[in-house]
Structure 1
Amino acid sequence: MTSDPRRAIPSTDRLLALPEVIAAGQQLAPHIIRRTITEIQASARRGQTAPDEVIPRVVDAVQATHTTNLSAVLNATGVIIHTNLGRAPLSEAARDALHAAAGYVDLELDLDDGKRSKRGTWAKTALLAKAPDAEDALIVNNGAAALSLATTALAVAQGKPEVIISRGELVEIGAGFRLPDLITSTGTQLAEVGTTNRTTLEDYRNAISERTGAILKVHPSNYWIGGFNSTVETKQLATLADEQGLPLIVDVGSGLFTPDPVLPDEPTMTQALRDGADVVIASGDKLLGGPQAGLLLGSKTVLQTLARHPLARAFRADKFTLAALEATLNASSTPVHDALHADSKVLYARSQRIAEALNAEVVPHEGRVGGGGGAGVPIAGWAVSVAEEFARPLRTGSPAILPRVADGRCLIDLRCVPEADDEVILHRLREIAAEVEG
């Protein structure tokens, strides 16, 4: 009688006692290791894995398992603020701040007198130093939360639920989420004025009623309208709002504080404040180059009203956001700024070196800001052009490298790739080329 080969499958206790499995247990939770073992044993029972392969498979599996499934990616697309890749990469200073924040920190404590203090005052101080035209500031967990808080606290909570907005600024921010839906979800009502392409000051003036709680201006940062069009400037709206005793909310979106010659048409938080906005809103993880956060700057009276609203607690930023944001504001530069202002000659030289080693071609390539900033603004650069079949191995290799695929070619743009990683990309391209030729 032939013995059942499944009897040779190592037991769970034997597998758990393997030195490599015990070592992996210093990093991995017990249920992760047991699940791995169970899955490989089940594969052996189904005849998909030979019994004598169970031990080496278990060892390989636990050594290859990490506590997170997130994969680091080298961004070779030329899109600087890539939403699918987590938007802005953090500076070294911000990364160090995250490491420090991982332990106990003085988040709401005055170490001098040992008493409770306000949350994240150091981040707020750094934000106000960056925007001296603001009287006060508030930091929440993202830009959408900032807008929702501002419209709710200044309109609905005051018994005047209507907020006036131009029809040309009813933006969809991505993944199917639309600002009108976000704003009205808390009971705010929108009074839409003008048309898609043209809105005048009189449109706003005629819409004001006893139900009006605020005027809202949103920068449509992920699209633009050309041709026969007109919008009302912040300064004009501020004059009207002041005349009517209404707060003016301006969402500039991308978080640019001061003008940048690369993006001449991008609105800035500083200018919106100087033009008379009562509260200016932006995201922290776009052109500012920091962590995901919603930044609110403006009048002390208005900001205190926002801070007292219950949603301010629901939307408040955690210690990691506050730490990374402060470090971003205080650092000399960020990866986003450096990529936006990368020297074209240096990019060409780096690209040419890789191309020559592969017998490939360097082609002109237009990068983009991405993330809802600088819509329609091309950023001249270069890319290494290889066959389209390189794209998937680049994405699925280690490290993962994300190129751009266009017109049947795989394009590797080094704008957002640290120069120290050029060798990593070249090595991976050589491996793929050998596999393709083989």
Structure 2
Amino acid sequence: MAKRFQQLPGIDTLLQLMTAEINTWGRDAVVNNLRDLLVRLRAEIARGGTPDCAIESIRDNAIAALSALNVSSLMPVINLTGTVLHTNLGRAVLPQTALDAVMTVAGSPSNLEFDLESGRRGERDSHVESLICELTGAEAATVVNNNAAAVLLVLNTLAMGHEVPVSRGELVEIGGSFRIPEVMARAGCQLVEIGATNRTHLTDYRNAIGEKTALLMKVHTSNYRVEGFTHSVAEVELAALAAEYSLPLVVDMGSGNLVNFTALGLPREVTAAETLAQGADIITFSGDKLLGGPQAGLIAGRHDLIAAIRKNPLKRALRVDKMTLAALAETLKLYRDPDDLLKSLPTLRYLTRDEADIHAQGQRLLPLIKQTIGPSYTVTVERCLSQVGSGSLPVDLLPSSALQCRPASGHDESLRRLQQSLRDPPVPVVGRLHKGSLWLDLRCLEVKDEDALIGQLQHVAP
């Protein structure tokens, strides 16, 4: 044992062989890593083990450990789940113009809050406000870091210490167990539940209005839809009632939408402009869902209400940075040319892909997938249904095609091993397990990205 301890090289000796690593990661990081490695080797020797104490082996292990420590935990993946706006995978893919804008402002100082004309302090909302107003018909607009923050800020500004009637059928829970009643409580206002889960009438709102009522609110049921014996009050009716009592009408649109989806062959979804035209005083919606931009919460509507919202101290805590504003501005600009949106906006391209083209893509990729995963699995191209995701159009499914991988053994454990193997390449490939098969839905794999998938499959162990 004493001899094995003597075989361990000193740190100074190892450092002489790791000049390149010191230049890459810094001397302190390399020294600390070597110390930890030597401590583990000594402990193993003390237990009676015979670890490899050769200098080259220790150096290689140290390099491997340092490399692993410095790999970014946030990385791109290939989305073959069939969910276009997958919350766990980052939701919307940004258009190229937005990516270019982010790179431009991220790498240099910018006029984020500087008015170039007057030479004085500017307002960061100015970079997107006119675009939002142009596309929605709003008098004014502001932006925060997501739609939950937008709802929180609006309620805290306009209803703190007061009551807000909301239909029981709209008390939704969004991802991560965030619930509308809890958001309202944090905003400092009191929820007044009205109506029933499936039916709420205008009289329910009218009966709930009292001296402490601050506003009327309608919430988009993003993650589900109640069907059958149902009734909800239209925005135009709520707007008339709110105006009768001089109350603002706030509509949380959830995903939000700026274009006519039916013209694109998609299920109808009310637009922001339509909601404001129907009488809403304030609307809130997401930037990274149907809009196809970066994570953000957009607030648009009456000028006086937006001005009050901007003055709320919480606005500073919830504000977005220059990169988000740059990406959002470029995304919004694309909506000025609706006829070109399908070419320029990835989210709408994915949503409107033709199922026949997706199926043909599956047939092209089928031989390669079979070769990659080996004879232990049966692979076929099958019709399937994709979904929009992130609570957008929750019951509307999109016809698609997928590579269905079934284990010859029939064991689920084989599927889990295959699923893990596909996540091991430098750019992980993420599918979904469903009914005893691994489905690789191709809706979000554009033709131009096929080579990227093929390149990653070379790293997959059969």
> TM-score scaled to structure 1, two decimals?
0.91
Deviations 1:84-106 (A, max 9, x none): 11221222222222222223111
Query: Equivalent residue for 2:201?
Result: 200
Change in Cα spacing, 1:13 to 1:291, as seen in structure 2 (3 Å) is farther
**Per-residue Cα deviation, 1:112-146 (whole angstroms, up to 9, x for no partner):** 33221112412223322322x11100101111110
Q: Is the 8 A contact 2:85 2:289 kept in 1?
A: yes
**Do residues 88 (structure 1) and 89 (structure 2) align?**
no
1:335 aligns with 2:337: no
Q: 1:8: which partner in 2?
A: 7
2:34 to 30, 33, 37: 37
The sequence identity of aligned pairs, in percent, is 37
Distance 2:175 2:305 in 1: 29
The 1:8/1:126 distance shift into structure 2, 3 A limit, reads: farther
Pairing 1:188-337 to 2, within 5 Å after superposition: 188-261=189-262, 262-331=265-334, 332=341, 333-337=344-348
Structure 1 residues 319-358: Cα deviation after superposition (integer angstroms, max 9, x where no partner): 1211111122124532211111112222112111111334
Asked whether the 8 Å contact 2:255–2:286 carries over to 1, the reply is: yes
Three-state SS of the structure 1 residue aligned to 2:394 is coil
Change (3 A) 1:97 1:384: same
The CA deviation at 1:243 is 0.7
> In structure 1, what is the Cα distance between the partners aligned to 2:31 and 2:292?
41
SS in 2 for 1:184: helix
SS in 2 for 1:230: coil
In structure 2, give the amino acid aligned to 1:425: L
Q: Which residue number corresponds to residue 356 of structure 2?
A: 345
Going from structure 1 to structure 2, the CA distance change for 1:236 and 1:14 (only over 3 Å counts) comes to: farther
- For the 8 Å contact 1:256–1:288, the answer to whether it is kept is yes
Change (3 A) 1:118 1:279: same
Distance 2:307 2:165 in 1: 22
Deviation at 1:296, TM superposition (A): 0.4
Q: Are the structure 2 counterparts of residues 78 and 268 from structure 1 closer, same or farther at C-alpha, using a change threshold of 3 Å?
A: same
1:279 and 1:230 map into 2 onto residues whose CA distance is: 23
The DSSP-based 3-state class of the residue aligned with 1:411 is strand
Q: Secondary structure at the match of 1:377?
A: strand
For 1:20 and 1:199, the matched residues in 2 are separated by: 69
CA distance in 2 between partners of 1:32 and 1:215 (Å):
57
Q: 2:53: which partner in 1?
A: 51
| Displacement of 1:64 | 4.7
CA pair 391-228 structure 1, distance change in 2 beyond 3 A:
same
Unmatched 5+ residue regions in structure 1? none
Q: Which consecutive residues of structure 2, in runs of 5 or more, have no partner in the other structure? A: 335-340, 371-378, 407-414
Report deviation, 1:195.
Answer: 0.3
SS at match of 2:217: strand
Report what 1:420 is aligned to.
448
- Cα 1:407/1:233, change in 2 over 3 Å: same
Quote how far apart the aligned CAs of 1:5 are. Answer: 2.2
Q: For the residues of structure 2 that align with 1:91 and 1:31, how far apart are their CA atoms?
A: 41
Which residue pairs with 1:406 in the alignment? 434
Pairing 1:125-164 to 2, within 5 Å after superposition: 125-131=130-136, 133-156=137-160, 161-164=162-165
Check 1:21–1:223 CA distance in 2 against 1; reply closer, same or farther (3 A cut): same
| Secondary structure at the counterpart of residue 395 of structure 2 | coil
Q: What CA distance in whole angstroms lies between the structure 2 residues aligned with 1:381 and 1:282? A: 28
SS in 2 for 1:272: helix
Residue 60 of structure 1: SS of its match in structure 2? Answer: helix
Amino acid at match of 2:309: L
Q: Which amino acid aligns with 1:413?
A: D
Within a 5 Å distance, the mapping from 1:101-180 to structure 2 comes to: 101-102=105-106, 103-131=108-136, 133-156=137-160, 161-180=162-181
Distance in 2 (CA, whole Å) between partners of 1:195 and 1:31 is 64
Report the AA paired with residue 12 of structure 1: I
Moved more, 276-285 or 60-69: 60-69
Distance 2:181 2:320 in 1: 24
Q: How far apart, in 2, do the equivalents of 1:134 and 1:30 lie?
A: 57
- SS of corresponding position for 2:127: helix
Mapped to 2, the partners of 1:105 and 1:51 lie a distance apart of 54
Q: Distance in 2 between matches of 1:34 and 1:330?
A: 51
How many residues matched?
A: 426
1:273–1:10 distance in 2 versus 1, CA, 3 Å: farther
Q: CA deviation at 1:428?
A: 4.4
Structure 2 counterpart SS, 1:231: coil
1:371 aligned onto 2:371: no
> Following the alignment from structure 1 to structure 2, what is the Cα–Cα distance between the partners of residues 273 and 59?
59
Q: Report the CA distance shift for 1:289/1:10 in structure 2 as closer, same or farther (over 3 A).
A: farther
Matched-pair contact (CA < 8 Å) for 1:358–1:430: no
Q: Which residue of 1 aligns with 2:22?
A: 22
Q: 1:205 to 1:426 in 2, by over 3 A?
A: same
Change in 2 beyond 3 A, CA 1:92/1:275: same
Q: CA deviation at 1:231?
A: 0.3
Give how far 1:65 is off. Answer: 4.3
CA distance in 2, matches of 1:114, 1:275: 40
* Residue pair 1:222, 1:373 contacting (<8 A) in 2 also: yes
Counterpart residue number, 2:376: none
1:16-60 CA-partner distances (Å, limit 9, x unpaired) = 4413312422xxx66554443333333322338522211011223
**Cα distance in 2, alignment partners of residues 134 and 10 from structure 1:** 71
